[in-house]
């Protein structure tokens, strides 16, 4: 079964910019994104939300190996990430949180087209990429930084040819 998967760690905020996160952590992100779905006029003009991401899209790795690549870059800044989370999340109401951390796992099954683009072999690979687990170090990082683990899995089913 063709499989395309990637992992990223994101810090998202309505109150702190991706550039400010970069400066606070001393780590350049792989990606940043500005989310402004409402485009409401605000004075001063501020984006709805910004995301700062460290990403691993390397094909042929199991999810736990992709997670390890991402967390290896972040572990030296675990304490600083935890400090930022505390600084911007003093409110008890989750809706008032100023900074959110997520470790996102995204997997597409039966995805021939994306698999080709990712450069993964179409032939049966001897490695089983379907199973994965979090080790104690990963769990400790998630706990220390207040990071949520989110796993999205999609089964891309081709529609049968119509008669």
pLDDT digits (tens, 9 = 90+) for 21-78: 999 999 999 999 987 655 555 555 555 789 999 999 999 899 999 999 999 999 999 9
pLDDT score recorded for residue 35:
78
Q: Is the model more confident about 110 or about 30?
A: 30
pLDDT score recorded for residue 160:
61
pLDDT score recorded for residue 2:
82
Distance, CA of 29 to CA of 25 (rounded, Å): 10
Q: Indicate the pLDDT class of residue 116, thresholds 50, 70 and 90.
A: very low
Q: Is 163 helix (H, G, I), strand (E, B) or coil?
A: coil
| CB hemisphere CA count around 130 (13 angstroms) | 10
Specify burial of residue 152 (Cβ count, 10 A radius: 0-12, 13-18, 19+).
exposed
Q: Is the dihedral of CA 130, 133, 138, 142 positive or negative?
A: positive
Angle between helices 78-88 and 18-25 (to 10 degrees): 140
Determine the Cα angle at 157 with ends 153 and 161, to 5°: 170
* Single pTM value for the model: 0.80
pLDDT of 118 > 50? The answer is no
Average pLDDT in the chain: 84
Contacts of 162 (CB under 8 A, 6+ apart): none
């Amino acid at each position: 079964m063709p499989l395309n998967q990637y992992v990223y760690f994101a810090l998202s905020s309505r109150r702190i910019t991706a550039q400010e996160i970069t400066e606070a952590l001393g780590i350049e992100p792989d990606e940043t994104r500005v989310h402004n779905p409402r485009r409401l006029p605000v004075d001063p003009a501020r984006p709805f939300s910004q995301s700062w991401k460290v990403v691993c899209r390397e094909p042929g790795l199991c999810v736990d190996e992709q997670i390890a690549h991402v967390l290896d870059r972040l572990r030296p800044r675990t304490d600083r990430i935890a400090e930022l989370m505390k600084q911007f999340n003093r409110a008890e109401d989750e809706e008032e949180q100023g900074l959110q951390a997520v470790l996102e796992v995204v997997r597409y099954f039966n995805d021939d087209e994306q698999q080709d683009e990712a450069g993964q072999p179409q032939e049966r690979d001897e490695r089983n990429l379907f199973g994965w687990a979090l080790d104690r170090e990963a769990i400790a990082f998630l706990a220390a930084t207040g990071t949520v683990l989110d796993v999205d899995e999609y089964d891309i089913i081709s529609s049968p040819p119509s008669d």
